[in-house]
Structure 1
């Protein structure tokens, strides 16, 4: 198969929400850096093999900004990661400032301190699910609405200082902003999200609290180089990513475990001993969305015999890299006991996910509690029948379960 004979168009069709398109395996073997057409119809490079994805994630010759933004390839019609972001001249300095401001709030030590609060939230959700199941005529409840969604939302609201009573509003904005099927409604949702965050930020300016948004508003007020619009974009990004990604990983992790009963039984037999490894395997194989991380070349870059020209768009497929058989034994198999622990589920290099400790804390608490309190959990609908959200972050709309 000559995969470079014609430019393939993203996204590639997936068999279901747990599997990737078979074409990724072919690309990793034959053309790990290949020319593709984005969903928006523009040219880009798709990188699929682990080594190249990892190396380019850490390569400062690639960035999120573009030397000529008006000429940049567009990736999608959604309003998330659709094109370049940030200032080309100051991107590195802006990123350094952001990490400096946010690192204390998202430190591993602080996340450990948060774990008791997360467990309380999870137990409350499970209590309600138990009550709902008793009242449901068919004994079926929606784990997405009852647990996977409310827990990450409550946690990120507490950290950022966002009223939890606003959750339906900003969740709807997030959904529409990331939806690649609704055309101009996606950027309008992003504008609404920005307006919502401006209102919240100004309220924090008047009455600051002990939370991340208050810290960012305070920093922007005292640093002339810190652009107000940049601060608002960061707050929106934190609220969006802080709940969307974890919600989806809880859903996908549950599907992986319940479609592999032997792995679910192993976790229920020893939740404390197995939950960490289980979460890492969920982060490796759980593949929300069908694209990857977007970068633009800031100079010509030669990789694996391919020259990526200055300004070219590069899509780094974390999903594909994490299933590279040259790095992971039986790469397509969900196996928490595997020895490899070098997945790219949280990225790599300077842009390694600042919320990694938060996500790990939430996922560990959620899956340990589910294994302890709902050992008989099972799916009430076939995976192939679940509706997948038409958004860049993917995931399922519902997760019907019983026990």
Structure 2
């Protein structure tokens, strides 16, 4: 059955949905949402403030906030605007790789490239000072902590306060950036929401992409034939990017009983099972991306496969940052296969230390070795 009752990491119960077709349909179903009529008693997915429990307010208020957010951000994150950023992303990749190869081998790719690249990009896009990265990195990691509610809340509060100060500063010192454009397009009553949205964008704009970049390096290191093929034909990069986004590896290992949390806004029939209003539903995107009926031999790394993965969601909440993540991954891969004849982990993948206490997961370090062209 594609739906079952499971315990959550927070100790509550939820419905887990795993079949590809069902997960895709429910991602677009407006009968599921982020709100709950009684948020204090609602089942929680984790103790993290990020997707751990319901949003505050009614379903109508949540929908209004989401509609406003997409209206503000869709033009900024459009495929056309993101494509215009490609030369800048390419330059940042080249600079980071120059610094990497200037040092000894093995080197920590996670710290030298995977983390700073998305942070540099999202900072420039939002108008956040890159020199503050060590501060908001600590807060981002705290807010996505799974098992410590107080630490998660404290991290989010500090990141939100930081963004509030930045929003206030940009009112007097506007820039050519997303935060400034949101401020100029919104009434003063929206400033607190802009700060909260900015905090979420800063978090989401680097955390998930960092993990995908590390995962891509590991997958190509585990599949040298794919690396060689990509060096011969870099035009295969878009297919490689999509398979990296779909694929599950050790560096993205998640609990089998997890998914994207939503709450039933009304009684629902899900695959013949009655889900009462208010129940927590976990949409198993990771499991759907490994559904054998949609992705034959799902454990294999097969870039040429048809790849309608759900890693960015589906429907009205489809991830706005998808074009940006794809550009960052593509430009990094293009630089790697152009500059190196070999590039990959310097240790066995099972030796990598996983970030098991963080919502996004990934690795804490990624030692790599390379052979330059």
State the TM-score, normalizing by the size of structure 2: 0.94
Give secondary structure in 2 for the equivalent of 1:307: strand
Q: Distance in 2 between matches of 1:237 and 1:350?
A: 18
Contact residue 179 and residue 198 of structure 2 kept, 8 A: yes
Which shows bigger deviation, 181-190 or 381-390? 181-190
Q: Distance in 2 between matches of 1:186 and 1:90?
A: 24
Give unmatched runs, 5+ long, in structure 1. 1-30
Structure 2 match to 1:40: 10
Question: What are the within-5 Å matches in structure 2 for residues 105-144 of structure 1?
Answer: 105-132=76-103, 136=104, 139-144=105-110
Superposed displacement of residue 220, structure 1: 3.5
Q: Does 1:329 align with 2:296?
A: yes
Q: Does 1:282 align with 2:244?
A: yes
Aligned match for 1:237, one of 200, 207, 221: 200
Q: Does 1:155 align with 2:121?
A: yes
Structure 1 match to 2:54: 84
Q: Distance in 2 between matches of 1:141 and 1:326?
A: 40
Contact residue 39 and residue 56 of structure 2 kept, 8 A: no
Contact residue 33 and residue 264 of structure 2 kept, 8 A: yes
Indicate how the Cα distance of structure 1 residues 183 and 97 shifts in structure 2: closer, same or farther if over 3 A, else same: closer
Superposed displacement of residue 229, structure 1: 3.7
Structure 1 match to 2:275: 308
Give secondary structure in 1 for the equivalent of 2:14: strand
Aligned match for 1:357, one of 303, 307, 323: 323
Superposed displacement of residue 236, structure 1: 0.9
Q: Does 1:54 align with 2:54?
A: no
Give secondary structure in 2 for the equivalent of 1:359: helix
Give unmatched runs, 5+ long, in structure 2. none
Q: Does 1:293 align with 2:260?
A: yes
Superposed displacement of residue 400, structure 1: 0.5
Question: What are the within-5 Å matches in structure 2 for residues 4-403 of structure 1?
Answer: 31-88=1-58, 89-132=60-103, 136=104, 139-221=105-187, 226=190, 228-271=191-234, 273-286=235-248, 288=252, 289-290=254-255, 291-338=258-305, 340-389=306-355, 390-403=357-370
Give secondary structure in 2 for the equivalent of 1:165: helix
Give secondary structure in 2 for the equivalent of 1:376: strand
Post-superposition CA distance 1:105-163 (Å, at most 9, x none): 1010111110000010000111111111xxx2xx2111111111111100000100000
Post-superposition CA distance 1:289-347 (Å, at most 9, x none): 54321111100010111111111111111110000001112112110011x12110110
Q: Distance in 2 between matches of 1:182 and 1:385?
A: 26
Q: Distance in 1 between matches of 2:118 and 2:182?
A: 21
Indicate how the Cα distance of structure 1 residues 365 and 82 shifts in structure 2: closer, same or farther if over 3 A, else same: same
Post-superposition CA distance 1:257-316 (Å, at most 9, x none): 101111111112222x11000000011114745432111110001011111111111111
Which shows bigger deviation, 72-81 or 342-351? 72-81
Q: Distance in 2 between matches of 1:104 and 1:35?
A: 40
Structure 2 match to 1:19: none
Contact residue 129 and residue 141 of structure 1 kept, 8 A: yes
RMSD: 1.4
Q: Distance in 1 between matches of 2:143 and 2:107?
A: 28
Give secondary structure in 1 for the equivalent of 2:40: helix
Q: Distance in 1 between matches of 2:115 and 2:49?
A: 22
Structure 2 match to 1:5: none
Superposed displacement of residue 232, structure 1: 2.4
Indicate how the Cα distance of structure 1 residues 168 and 82 shifts in structure 2: closer, same or farther if over 3 A, else same: same
